[in-house]
Structure 1
Amino acid sequence: MQFRMILLLMFAAATCSGAIAQQTKEPAKTKDKKKPVPEFRWVNPMPKNHHPALSHRTFPSESLGVDVGYVILLPPEYETSTRQAFPVVYYLHGGRPGSETKSIGLAKPIFDAMKNAEVSPAIYVFVNGGPVSHYDMPDDPKRKGASVFTEELIPHIDANYRTIADRSGRGIEGFSQGGRATMRLSLRRPDLFCSAAAGGGGYASEKRISEEDGYENPNLRFSLGENTWDLARSYAKRKSPVVRWMIYVGDQGFNYQNNLQYMEFLDSLEIPHQRIVVPGATHSAKQIYDAQALTIMKFHAANFVQSATVDKHDGVPAKNVELK
C-alpha cells in the first residue's frame, strides 16, 4: 500500500512538472522573416545561362576608386559593319541595391528584334545603379549611382565602342526604380538624351520626396529638388533641349494609378509624352516587354532618326499618343 502511494505521488509530480514546462515553453514564432537585403557590389557575377550576346565588362571609376560593372548587348551587325556607329540605349534596373545583372533577362526580345530586322540596330547597356539605385546621396561620395552613370559610364562607352557619341544617338530606359530614374535623369540632363522610356516608376515616392523636404522615408533623404516632380517643373520653363518621352505601365501593377497621376501632371505642364498601358500586366518589365518590346524599341529608333535630322533645339513637341 505504501509502495503504491509512493508511485502515485511520483507520477503526479512528473505530470505537474511537465505541465509547467509546457506552459513556460517559448511560443513558436509565426512572423515571416523578411528576405535579407543583398550585399551591394559595384561588380557582380553574371548568372548562368545568360543570353550569349551579352558581355560583362568593367570600367575604373575615378570618383569611387574602384571598378564598376556593366553588361553590354551589341547588335548583330556590330562585328560585320565595322565602320558603322550605333545609337545606345542605357537600361536602368529596378529594385535596390544596384546590380548590372538585374535586367539582362530582357536581352532576348531585344536581340531577336534586331536580328530579325524588325527594328534598326542599337547598343544596349545594362547599368549598375549603385547602393541606392540611380540616386546620388548627399554628403556621401561613395553612394552615388547617378553621377557614376552620367559622368563616367557614358564617356567610357563612347570611348570604347562605336557609338553615336551625341544626345541624338543616346536613349535611356528603365523599370520601377529604373523608371523613376529614367524620368529624373532625362529631365535633369536633357543635354545627354534625346529619347527616354520610363516604365512602371514609383511617382508617389517621388512626389513624397518633393513634398517632404527630400525625405522618401524617415531614414532616407535626397537632395532638394532631386525628384521627378520638381525637375519636371524646372524643365517645363525652358522645354529645351527636346527629349521625347514615353511612359509605360501595366494596368494591374501597383504603380498604375500613380503613373496615371504623373502623366496628368506632365499634361498640366505641357510636357509631351507617349503612353503605353498594357492590359493585364502586373508590375513586371518582362510582362510588358512580352507585349510591347517592339513598340518600345521602335520608339527609341524613331527618336534617334528624328533627333539626327532636325535642329536639336527646335522646341517642337511630340504628339501625345496612347497605345494599348
Structure 2
Amino acid sequence: MMGRIILLGIAVLLLAMQSSEVMAQNTKKKTSPPFKWVNTPRMMPDGVQHGVFKSPSMKHDVGYCIYLPPSYETDTDRRYPVVYYLHGGRPGNETKSIKLANYFHRYMTHSETPDMIYVFVNGGPVSHYNLADRENAMGEDVFVQELIPFIDKTYRTVADRKGRGLEGFSQGGRGTTRIMFKHPELFCSAAPGGSGYATEKRISEENGRENKNLVFTPGDNTWDLARKYADDQEPPLRIMLHVGTEGFNYENNLQYMKFLESLKIPFERVIVEGAPHSAQKVYDQRGLELLQFHAESFRRSGVLPAQ
C-alpha cells in the first residue's frame, strides 16, 4: 500500500513538473521581442517592398513596408491613392500585417478593385500612440508628421486628403480611430477594425490613465476625440467599422457604434460572422468590401473615375 502511495506521489509530481514546463514554454512564446524601428521581413508577398527613411525628430532610421499595385511600374505618369495600414500588437512593427497584401494583390490583379498603394506603418514602442516621457516613443508623430510626407515625396501618390485613407486592426484599430478623428484634414477614408474601445473608454474616464504604468495625454482617446469631431464633422470622413462576432472586442465595438450613433457621426459597419480577433480572418470573408470602401471614397473625392 505504501509503495502505491509513493508511486502515486511521484506521478503527481512529474505531472506538476510537466505542467509547469508547458506553462513556461507558453509564457515564453507570448513574450514580445524587443521593439525596433527597423525590421526587415524574411519573406514579402508579391508587390511588397521594405523601405527605410530617416526620422527628422529621432535622427535615426524608421522602417516601413509598401505595396505597389500591378500597374505602378508601367504606368509611370499615373498617381495613386494610398491607404496607410496600422498594425496590431504592442509593440508591433512594419512587417506585422504584410500578409494582408496577398489579398490586395489578388483583388487588384483580377480588377476587382482599382489599383491603390498600401503602406504598412511602424507604430512605435506603444503602437500608434505618443509617449513624450519615453525616449523615441512618439509613434503617432513619426507616422503623421514624418512618414506621410516622405511617402508623398518618394512615391507617385495623390498627396492630398482626397487620395489618402487609413485602416488598422486591434491596437491599429484604436490608432486608426484616434488619428482619423484627430486629423480628419489628412484622410478622406478610415476603416478601424477590432478596436479595444473598452480600454479607450477607461482612458477617457481616468484622465488618460490606461494602467498605473501607462498614462496618455488627457483627451487623446477614441471617445473624447469623437466628441470633439462631432461638434462640426469637418472635413467629413467616410468611416467603416469592422469586427468579427467571435472577437473578444466584439461587444465593446457594438457599444462604440451606438456611441457614434448618439453623436450623429455617420459610419458604415462590417460585422463578420464567426470571425475571431484576426484581421486575416476578417479579410478571408469580407476583405474585398474594405478595399471597395476605400476605392469608393476616392471616387467620391474625384481621385478615381466613376464606375
Q: Distance in 1 between matches of 2:135 and 2:163?
A: 30
- Do the aligned partners of 1:138 and 1:223 also contact (CA within 8 Å) in 2? no
Counterpart among 40, 44, 47 of residue 42 in structure 2:
47
Q: Mean Cα displacement is larger for which, 273-282 or 138-147?
A: 138-147
Counterpart among 258, 270, 277 of residue 264 in structure 1:
258
Q: Equivalences for 1:63-78 in 2 at 5 Å?
A: 63-78=57-72
Aligned to 2:214: 220
Give the direction of change, closer, same or farther, for the CA distance of 1:64–1:232 in structure 2 (3 Å limit): same
- After TM superposition, give the deviation of residue 144 of structure 1 in Å: 1.0
Secondary structure of the 2:302 match is helix
Partner letter of residue 37 of structure 2? W
- After TM superposition, give the deviation of residue 139 of structure 1 in Å: 2.9
Runs (5+) with no aligned partner, structure 1: 1-21, 310-324
- After TM superposition, give the deviation of residue 141 of structure 1 in Å: 4.8
Q: How many residues matched?
A: 288
Aligned to 2:164: 170
Partner letter of residue 284 of structure 2? D
Is the aligned partner of 1:38 residue 2:38? no
Counterpart among 234, 241, 248 of residue 235 in structure 2:
241
Aligned to 1:102: 96
Task: Among all aligned residue pairs of Structure 1 and Structure 2, give the percentage whose two residues are the same amino acid.
Answer: 55
Aligned to 1:296: 290
Aligned to 2:50: 56
- Do the aligned partners of 2:46 and 2:102 also contact (CA within 8 Å) in 1? no
CA RMSD of aligned residues (A): 1.9
Partner letter of residue 230 of structure 2? A
Partner letter of residue 30 of structure 1? S
Aligned to 1:251: 245
Partner letter of residue 60 of structure 1? K
Q: Distance in 2 between matches of 1:195 and 1:36?
A: 34
- Do the aligned partners of 2:52 and 2:63 also contact (CA within 8 Å) in 1? yes
Runs (5+) with no aligned partner, structure 2: 1-9
Q: Distance in 1 between matches of 2:143 and 2:31?
A: 26
Is the aligned partner of 1:85 residue 2:79? yes
Q: Distance in 2 between matches of 1:221 and 1:47?
A: 35
Q: Equivalences for 1:173-188 in 2 at 5 Å?
A: 173-188=167-182
Q: Equivalences for 1:102-181 in 2 at 5 Å?
A: 102-181=96-175
Q: Distance in 1 between matches of 2:293 and 2:135?
A: 35
- Do the aligned partners of 1:170 and 1:195 also contact (CA within 8 Å) in 2? yes
Aligned to 1:205: 199
Aligned to 2:186: 192
Q: Distance in 2 between matches of 1:71 and 1:129?
A: 12
Q: Distance in 2 between matches of 1:94 and 1:88?
A: 19
Secondary structure of the 2:226 match is helix
Q: Distance in 2 between matches of 1:116 and 1:167?
A: 27
Deviations 1:70-92 (A, max 9, x none): 00000101111111100000000
Secondary structure of the 1:247 match is strand
- After TM superposition, give the deviation of residue 106 of structure 1 in Å: 0.4
- Do the aligned partners of 1:53 and 1:74 also contact (CA within 8 Å) in 2? yes
- After TM superposition, give the deviation of residue 128 of structure 1 in Å: 0.4
Aligned to 2:5: none
TM-score calculated relative to the size of structure 2: 0.90
